[in-house]
Amino acid sequence: MRLAFAFLVSALFLSACANVQDRRVNAYHFVNERSCALIVGGGTEQFFADPRINDVWFQAGKTITDDLYRDMTARGYPVREYIVPLDVRSRPREQFLENIALEMSMNRCNRIIQIAQIVSEDANGRFFGYRVDVMLAKPKNLGAQSAVAVTKVALVGEYTKQYRYPRNVETFKTLQFHKIAETFFSDMAVSGELKNLR
C-alpha cells in the first residue's frame, strides 16, 4: 500500500500566485531576487486504514524536514519551513497551494525545497523513500520592476534526487532521521545548487 505526499506544487501554482496578489502581497520579490528557500515537507496522503500508521509516517516526514531546516539554518542558509498538515487530502488543493505561495511571498523566498515521502512496495519488496526537489519560481509576465505584481509564475526544477530504504526490521533498528536529513543536505551541497542561496 502506498503512502505519499508527492504533491508537486507546480501544477496549480499559477492560480495560487494570483490569489497571493489579491491579498496585496507584493509578489515581485519572491520570484526575482536571490533570496531564501521554503522547505516543504511533513504531510502525507492517507492510504492506510489505521490512522495511527498515517501519524507515524507523518511524524517521520516532519522530523526529517525539521532536521534539514535546523541543519541549513545552522550553516547560514536563508531558509524557512512549511509543514504540510496530515489532513492535506481533505482540504481544497487550491487552498494548500495558495498557502505555500503566500509563505514564499511573505518571506521573499524564490525557491522551494520539497521533501516528498513515499511508503510502498513493488517487485523488490516493501520500502519507504524520499524524493528531494529544488524548484525555482520564475516570473512569466512582469510589469515595471518597481512594483508590481507577478501575473504568472512557473516553478522550474533545478535539482531532484530519490532515496529508497528497505521497509523491514533491520532498517528500523538502525534508522536515524537526522542522518537522512544530513544526506539530503550533503547531496544538495555537492550538486552545487545551494550556491544560489548564498
> Which one is predicted more confidently, 198 or 150?
198
**pLDDT, position 28:** 53
Range with the largest mean pLDDT of 7-16, 54-63, 96-105, 139-148:
54-63
**pLDDT, position 38:** 94
**pLDDT, position 187:** 97
**pLDDT, position 130:** 93
Per mean pLDDT, which range of 14-28, 92-106, 182-196 is the poorest?
14-28
> What's this model's pTM, rounded to 2 decimal places?
0.80
Domain ranges of the chain: 3-197
Give every CB contact of residue 169 below 8 A, 6+ residues apart in sequence: none
Cα–Cα dist 190/175, whole Å: 23
Return the closest-CA partner of residue 105 out of 4, 194, 25, 198.
25
C-alpha cell at 148: 508590481
Per mean pLDDT, which range of 30-44, 80-94, 140-154 is the poorest?
140-154
Statement: residue 124 has pLDDT above 80: yes
**pLDDT, position 42:** 80
